[in-house]
Every structure is written in C-alpha cells, then in structure tokens.
Amino acid sequence: MEEHVLILGSKGMLGGQLLKVFGAKAIGWDREDCDVLKTEDLRFKIKDLRLPIKAVINCVAYNDVDGAEEKQEIANLLNAEVPGVLAKICKDLGIPLVHFSTNYVFDDEKGEYAEDAQASPKSEYAKSKYEGELAVKNNTDKFYIVRTAVLFGPKGESELSKKSFVELMLDLSSKNPTVKAVSDEVNSITYAPDLAAAVKNLLDDKKPFGVYHITNSGFGSWFDFAAEIFKITGKTTKLEPVPSTDFKRAAHRPKKSVLLNTKLQPLRLWQEALAEFLNFTKY
C-alpha cells in the first residue's frame, strides 16, 4: 500500500500548499476533523488510520505574534504542549514528525543564524515556538524541525488563516495614498508553495532527521518587501519607510533574524517567487 502523509492544520496557508504538493498521497485534517487540543482523540485517530504513514506534518500553530503576549495559555498549548504530545504519539507509532518553527526564536545581535545557533526568544510567541522545538526533540528522535519566516502565498482555506503581508499591503494601497512600512526589521521571506515543495523533497530524499532552515534566498525589511510588491503590481501608492518605534505593537520583534540554510539546496530568491505569485493572482 502507498505511503501517505498526514497534514494537521491543512486549511492553513502552509497546510493548504502541502495538501497540493502531496496530492493523492495526503490526508488533511483541520480543526473540524480533529481538534489537536483533544490529545487522546488525536492519538486514537492517528492510530486508527490503518494506512502506512510516511510522516505526520504539523502545521497547527497559534500564529498571532501580538495576541500571544496576552493569550499565553493557548499559545503555549498549541505551540509547545501539543507538539510534545504529537511527538510522543509519533514515536510510539514509529512515524516521523515534521514540525515548523520560526526565525523569531533568534533575537540577539548576530542577525544571521545557522541551524545550530543558540536560540534567544524574547516575545511570548517566540518563547512558545522554541518550547515546541524542545518538546519535539525531547519526545522523539525521528523529527524534522523546519524553521521558516514571513510566509506569503495563497491564503489558507480557514477563515482565521493569517492574512499575508502581500494581501495586507495591496489592501492598504487600494485605500490610502501613502502606506508606511517598517524599515528596521529584517527577515528571511518565504513563498508557501516553495516551502511545501522543499518539505516534500526533505521526506522523499530521506534527509537525516534534525533541524532545517527553509526560506527563499535573500532577505529584506518590511519596507523592501512592500516596495517589491508595489513595483511588481505597478502600484503608484507612495511608500514611506518608518522605524519600528512608529508602530505600537504588543510583542517585541527581532531587528534582524535571517535564517541561514547550510544543509539543503537553496531555494530561489524571494523576489522571483513573489513575481510568480503576483503575476498569477488577480488583485
């Protein structure tokens, strides 16, 4: 029988793209199929699949960076505790687990970080994601922890799926003559379909278990990202660079958190991926 992958959070932005790249070999579950907070149900349902499972791919997360400052309990449950339970379930069943983390686990002076760099999470969101990494590592040896950053791409099917920066900028530019974007926060940037394809390669190539950094090549500030969006779409909206102190947000963010990929073939530049996305999407 053909091996399948089980994708949790399949109606989110990344989950939706993973469903596409794995096609008929994917089983997708979202909240209505299995609420991951009901961990005994989760264990029972995975066990009950009665199909050879190549990997469980966990895309479920609490992704509201500012919201996590207040809603620490749910952020910790979804980002730290559930991944630990899931890792244990996978270990018991002998199934590899793919889990996603964030560039925000790095937040010191260095700015660029290889896979083995020391984490330094500052915000509640970043702390909960880092705890999730540790919980996965502590409960199974067969794990792929994939750190990624600033996802964009087609919106997830779920109503709550996070709006990407691309949608946000295009929306703002259609309503305002001037748009402000933060120029002193720099991140890696990632096209969700490229990440999904790279995750499939990771599994198909049976890469060694461990921590991987998967983003598009290059990096940019929010201002650089917005400028590229407006250039590609021919928007004439004025774009104003502003310091992060101009935007009052609950959570602290790193000044520069670029993920260095030292283990895998690099993906194309984020600008190329963005051009492909915008040229195929009607705005």
Ligand X SMILES: NC(=O)c1ccc[n+]([C@@H]2O[C@H](COP(=O)([O-])OP(=O)(O)OC[C@H]3O[C@@H](n4cnc5c(N)ncnc54)[C@H](OP(=O)(O)O)[C@@H]3O)[C@@H](O)[C@H]2O)c1
Q: Which residues are catalytic?
A: 125
Decide: is 151 part of the binding site for ligand X (CB under 6 A).
yes
For 210, residues 6+ apart whose C-beta sits below 8 A from its C-beta are 115, 143, 144, 145, 263
Residue 162 touching ligand X (CB under 6 A): yes
Contact pattern from residue 169 through residue 208 relative to ligand X, giving x for each residue in contact according to CB under 6 A and a dash for the rest = ----------------------------------------
CA–CA separation, 175 vs 165, rounded Å? 16
* Least distance in angstroms from the C-beta of 250 to ligand X: 17
Pairwise CA distance, residues 115 & 209, whole Å: 13
How many residues touch ligand X under the rule CB under 6 A: the total is 27
Q: Which two tokens stand for residue 22?
A: 């794995």
Closest contact distance (angstroms) between CB of 234 and ligand X is 25
Least spacing, CB of residue 216 vs ligand X, in Å: 13
Q: What are phi and psi of 238, to 5 degrees?
A: -75, 135
Q: Which stretch binds ligand X (CB under 6 A): 53-61, 200-208, 221-229, 249-257?
A: 53-61
85 binds ligand X (CB under 6 A): no
State the nearest-atom distance from the C-beta of 156 to ligand X, in Å.
4
Q: Judged by CB under 6 A, which stretch of 158-166, 196-204, 220-228, 266-274 contacts ligand X?
A: 158-166
Query: Residue 65 CB, nearest distance to ligand X (Å)?
Result: 9
Neighbours of 161 (CB within 10 A): 19
Site string for ligand X, 93-132 (x = CB under 6 A): -------x-x------------------------------
Site string for ligand X, 2-31 (x = CB under 6 A): -------x-xxxxx--------------xx
Residue 253 engages ligand X in binding (rule: CB under 6 A)? no
Residue ranges that bind ligand X, judged by CB under 6 A: 9, 11-15, 30-31, 35-37, 59-61, 63, 78, 100, 102, 148-151, 156, 158, 160-162
